[in-house]
Structure 1
């Protein structure tokens, strides 16, 4: 099985970023239609990012809503020096970090003896691309957090290395190194999985 994760074409993404940034600036001025366009343009990227950061698809929609709520609460301070996408993903990162801190401080109770199996049984099945998506999530989950985040930002969300560095607060060279190591690890995992599957076939 081969999983391909291709970034959005750079020129197309640059145009989309410029449009999203313009909508954010217009929304800051009170334009409700611009605010709607801003959310639509970046909702998928935020959702994708928080799923990978949190490792919890169950709370991803809540975290995405929280991200946009925080963004609109601080939109008055957005001046467009960075793209709206980079600015918004930085907010998403903080929202996930706050959520994880809150969850760690608050124990969860469940009546089910095996809560993980119970959660897995509620997940959708037989959807197009479901198995490939699960396989990719499993591969990404095996990566160290910093490498997974850098890979998701640049290869899934489509940020440049510079934008990912701005979003995560680390040097560009560090982002490049993390992505390179993540790619190498994913390739090794895929080759190992294919080698294990070959005798069965």
Structure 2
């Protein structure tokens, strides 16, 4: 299997696709065809799900700078283990499970690495590393900060359902937990994020007074 990943073609849409079921069916068919050795199908599989994987790992890892590397790692793992994919779940669900493992492994590697700097002001360090002057930059940073403050399980549930558009049942399958647990995690995530926004707005009013 060729492990050189194709670059995504064409503009990447920000809106959810109009027919998620049809898109999932197509990507699953491509994955099964790629499993049989069809390289064109492997290319189509990567391109179809590239945007969702990048968004997922960026928010789950709370590190948009590492998103492309983590996505690359995810697809390489997927292509290496494609022979085990049987289509029992959608290719998207299967791929996001691999992406989650890639993020967890990245967390573990980071925890094992020695610290290269001694600073308590990690917020400023991260802010300086972010790109500036881009459309929607402030909104993106705000969302990233809100998500980063959530526990891992709530962040995962929120990203899967609210940003990637998976149903609660699909998210439950990906997270390996009951549907009710996903609903609870999403509700708790929304509550925490809303409360933080309200606190931020109140502080802004005080500063402006």
> TM-score under structure 2 normalisation?
0.84
Between the two proteins, the alignment pairs up a number of residues equal to 194
Matching residue of 2:191: 184
Gaps of 5+ in 2: 1-13
Deviations 1:152-172 (A, max 9, x none): 011001111111111111111
Matching residue of 1:50: 57
Give the alignment of 1:24-173 within 5 angstroms: 24-110=31-117, 116=122, 117-173=124-180
User: How far is the alpha carbon of 1:102 from its aligned partner?
Assistant: 1.7
Q: Which moved more, 1:22-31 or 1:79-88?
A: 22-31
CA distance in 2, matches of 1:36, 1:181: 38
Q: Contact 2:52–2:164 at 8 Å: present in 1 too? A: yes
Q: Contact 1:25–1:78 at 8 Å: present in 2 too? A: yes
User: How far is the alpha carbon of 1:194 from its aligned partner?
Assistant: 2.9
Q: Contact 1:50–1:93 at 8 Å: present in 2 too? A: yes
User: How far is the alpha carbon of 1:138 from its aligned partner?
Assistant: 1.2
Gaps of 5+ in 1: 1-5
CA distance in 2, matches of 1:135, 1:113: 23
Q: CA RMSD in A?
A: 2.2
Alignment of 1:8 with 2:29, yes or no, is: no
User: How far is the alpha carbon of 1:187 from its aligned partner?
Assistant: 2.0
Deviations 1:102-160 (A, max 9, x none): 221121425x8688445532421110001000011111122222111100011001111
> TM-score under structure 1 normalisation?
0.87
CA distance in 1, matches of 2:102, 2:48: 19
